[in-house]
Structure 1
């Protein structure tokens, strides 16, 4: 079953990378057609291209994450610090993409109708929530890592019946 799962993740990753490449190609095509247009609405076209590229980067990063975490490593056991670093890298890219998209939409909407600024404002609030959630995750997972290193939490997954860490009895300090 593990091989089927890896094959599916590989296929999905390749499809996502191809779609991200298609978005990048379409962005280049959009700039080319804007340059050919007689009235030269280049500013709008460039903002659209930035939006396409931001989405392409986010989609590509999702595909890369799936390849690295699900295809390459599979069911391999990892330390909590490796998982935290990998997830942090992935979420950081997503947060940056959300903030950049909000910035692009602000520039687009501010020209046409200021009343439409609710959507980019919601994106900024969502990005801030994602960043705060990532910070909380970092804080909590770092404290668990410290407990594991200090020996106060059992980190052996074969010894436990559930997913929750088991506290060890404190050993008396030696004089």
Structure 2
């Protein structure tokens, strides 16, 4: 049975490694496309402001995708095999959701700047994105409060 588990662990690491590598390459490509858009805008004398806002959006998304790629590589490829303790699982979940909250917040800010220059009525969608990001952060706080160990609570109440 141990041999099957080893094969399964190795297959999982290979698959997660490929996914992580793919996400890393995609994030790099997004950043290159963003910089290319700025380059084209500068050389063709088109709207640089729009190209910059588009680039910020792509780079923010690329950064979030890269963070997810790095997270998968660290957690699923490079970590030693075996079951994770509940504390480690909690830390992994918190780290992953924090990455998502940061990415959504940054994307919402980019959309707010873009929408604010066009039409004020289009600010509703980025506002909902910001509300979603705040909800994720509040949810993370509640989750941490509800799942902390008794040993942690004596230190956190200081």
Query: What TM-score do you get using the length of structure 1 for normalisation?
Result: 0.76
Larger helix fraction of residues = 2
**Structure 2 runs not aligned, ≥5 long:** 1-7
> C-alpha root-mean-square deviation of aligned residues, in Å?
2.1
In structure 1, the residue matched to 2:65 is 59
Quote the offset at 1:149 in angstroms: 10
In structure 2, the residue matched to 1:146 is 150
Structure 1 Cα separation of the partners of residues 142 and 100 of structure 2: 16
The correspondence of residues 98-109 of structure 1 with structure 2, limited to 5 A, is 98-109=104-115
Q: Of 19, 36, 59, which aligns to 2:43? A: 36
Structure 2 Cα separation of the partners of residues 148 and 130 of structure 1: 22
**Structure 1 runs not aligned, ≥5 long:** 151-175
Deviations 1:36-72 (A, max 9, x none): 122x411111111110111001101111111111112
Which has the higher relative contact order, 1 or 2, with Cα contacts under 8 A spaced 6 or more apart?
A: 2
If you compute each CA radius of gyration, which structure gives the higher value, 1 or 2?
Answer: 1
1:18 aligns with 2:25: yes
Query: What TM-score do you get using the length of structure 2 for normalisation?
Result: 0.84
